[in-house]
Amino acid sequence: MSRTVGPGGSSDSSGLIAGGVAVLALAAAGAVWLPLRLTDPPGYHGEGLFSAAAALISGRITWTVACTLVAVGEVLVVAALVAGVLLLTKGRRLRGSRVDEAARHMARRGDLKHLSPDGVTASAKRLRASLADAGSVAPDEAGVLIGRTVAGGMELRQSWEDMAVDIWGPRTGKTTARAIPATVSNPGPTLVTSVKGDIIDATRELRATRGEIWVFDPQQVWGQPQQLWWNPLGEIATITDARRLAEHFASAEREPGMQRDAFFDPSAEELVANLLLAAAVGGRSILEVYRWAVNPRDESPADILAGAGFQLPADSIIGVVNMPDQTRGGVYAGAQKMLMCLTEPSVTAWVSPPTVSTIRQFRPDKFVATCDTVYLLSQGGPGSPAPLIAALTDAVLRAGELRARASPGRRLDPPLMSVLDEAANICRIRQLPALYSYYGSHGLPIITVLQSYAQGVDVWGREGMRKLWSAANVRTYGGGVADPEFLEELSRLIGEHDVMTRSTSTNGSGFGQQSVSRQTRRQRVLDVAELHALPRGRMVVYSSGAPPVLARTAPWQAGPYADAIKASIARWDPDSRNDWTLKADNPLTQSFDNPVQEPR
């Protein structure tokens, strides 16, 4: 008979039993001998362990009350030691996680030098001209905190040339542990997108100490009065600029997974680009673009373009106007759908010149030269201002790129940090995968936060999402995703390790003799099921040039800005009764406790 009994153990179970009996006998003899040694009862003459026990059994040594008291003391001491060990073990188990043992088989400290405090500090001195001669560099000036390794507790930071993609399922703590800390700690201009106002509540007061606060909130998600307006046409000087803006309208209004029509979709997008260019060069409002789109026979935008020297875009409009009725109607219907958000007055108020002087104009080119913060809010969906969220984000990034080109080292200093939370819902920048390939070298780090890999595929396509994922220097998985294909890829990247197993065999002689043999097999460090069930407070970090590492998240409640963030929430959250204190049983509480020792 043969069965596998697990790793470890001896090659002879009989030897184990014999050894156990010997240890118990020795312990019992010692427990009897110690009271005799300490109290010196009648008949005791300094005998050793076993001879003293034999003399006691034979009656030559008298067991006294003093011996009993010492024996009781022995029992109490042993009980206290056992209880202490149990409590310590239980405490470690509570503070730890069921997946923490996997950290021993993942990246080690030496693999992660580029993410270590010393590594990002050296990188910051190299990348930022303002820090080149600095004797010491504050942690937040060096890079963005990601978390701490489970094995060893080393701090991990994202450098200013690292581009990040974070995939965290719903309710896994991505705002608490990633978006808010990255926002409050950034030393330079900061752009944040969100579908909720809680990130403004938490970060506004701290960001206000660095610069002005701008909130673009056409749907009143945050619920505060309008204080800014932005002119989308102000960034347009060429047909290329207009096409870039038209892309955002097209991408935002396309349903996830919907296939693009080979003729009508690109034709409608090109028509919108030409109309946007006509409005820009003609000094018109963006509202005029929608009016032109609902009047297929209006040739005035073509006249404006021709008069400004854009003859080919003008000819393109005339070409659509002269199409057969059904074809022309299909193209213009597509354009109208793309521009749907402009029919909502509460939205267009944010992209049209105001009637009151208290509403200031937001200028992306001015913004990137400051340490200001801009929050862009939308709940997404058809007809929402999501196209404008993507367009304004892209305009800020483009302004940062232009300023970086004229800066020392062609890098923006301090860097422009963009935290694109819910990017697949409200910030569908079609060119984002391409931007990831070179924006890090311009001091324009981006953290794109998605709820799943499949969500990114819906927006950028399978190849586009793969390009975005591969171009990111830092990729984090925070759990909560139920996509076996994606999780299988993550598991394969983490790799395998050796597991020792034992097989116990019993011979047929009837005497119960057993022999144990050992075998080694390969096993996934974290399989698909474990990644799916990754507990809160844990994440897997994949970085360029290093094995994946299991890390503890860095919730703001455990960070240096906790008190200031709580004060900001108390001031701005309508329900300031919310208790943001981490309770002892919250998994995030253990983010910085009880590191697993890294194997030597």
Q: Is residue 1 part of a domain?
A: no
- Is residue 562 situated within a structural domain? yes
For residue 371, give both structure tokens: 């340490």
Contact of 202 with 565, CB cutoff 8 Å: yes
Contact (Cβ atoms closer than 8 angstroms) between residue 331 and residue 267: yes
**555: three-class secondary structure by DSSP:** coil
Residue 528 counted as domain residue? no
DSSP 596: B
Contact partners, residue 20, CB within 8 Å, separation at least 6: none
pLDDT tens across the length of the chain (600 residues) = 333 444 444 444 556 677 777 888 888 888 888 888 888 888 888 888 788 888 888 888 888 988 898 889 989 998 998 888 777 766 554 455 679 999 999 999 999 999 999 999 999 999 999 999 988 999 999 999 999 999 999 999 999 999 999 999 999 999 999 999 999 999 999 999 999 999 999 999 999 999 999 999 999 999 999 999 999 999 999 999 999 999 999 998 877 667 788 899 999 999 999 999 999 999 999 999 999 999 999 999 999 999 999 999 999 999 999 999 999 999 999 999 999 999 999 999 999 999 998 999 999 999 999 999 999 999 988 889 999 999 999 999 999 999 999 999 999 999 999 999 999 999 999 999 999 999 999 999 999 999 999 999 999 999 999 999 999 999 999 999 999 999 999 999 999 988 877 777 666 555 556 677 778 888 999 999 999 999 999 999 999 999 999 999 999 999 999 999 999 999 998 876 555 555 545 555 544 445 555 544
- Residue 381 lies inside a defined structural domain of this protein: yes
Quick check: 97 and 479 in contact, CB under 8 A?
Answer: no
147 and 250 together in one domain: no
Q: What pLDDT sits at residue 36?
A: 84
For residue 99, which of 587, 600, 589 has the smallest C-alpha distance?
587
Same structural domain, 52 and 131: no
Q: Are residues 123 and 87 in the same domain?
A: no
Asked if residue 272 and residue 149 are part of one domain, the reply reads no
What Cα–Cα distance (Å) separates residue 164 from each residue in 297, 358, 471, 527? 47, 37, 9, 24
Domain ranges, residue 78: 13-93
* Distance (Å, whole) CA 60 – CA 150: 60
Answer yes or no: do 343 and 386 share one domain: yes
- pLDDT score for 518: 78
pLDDT of residue 437: 96
Whole-prediction pTM: 0.82
Structural domain includes residue 599: no
Residue 249, H or E segment: helix 239-252
pLDDT number for residue 261 = 83
Which of 93, 126, 146 is a domain's end point? 93
Write out the two tokens for 7.
Answer: 């790793």
Q: What pLDDT score was predicted for residue 74?
A: 87
Q: Which residue has the tokens 């958000």?
A: 341
Burial 163-179 (b: 16+ CB within 10 A, else e): bbbbbbbeebbbbbbbb
Q: Give the number of domains in the chain.
A: 3
Same domain for 358 and 388, yes or no, is yes
Q: Is residue 371 exposed (0-12), middle (13-18) or buried (19+ Cβ within 10 Å)?
A: middle
- Note whether 49 and 69 are same-domain residues: yes
Is residue 495 a part of any domain in this protein?
no
Asked if residue 488 belongs to a domain, the reply is no
Strand bridging mode 155-158 / 144-149: antiparallel
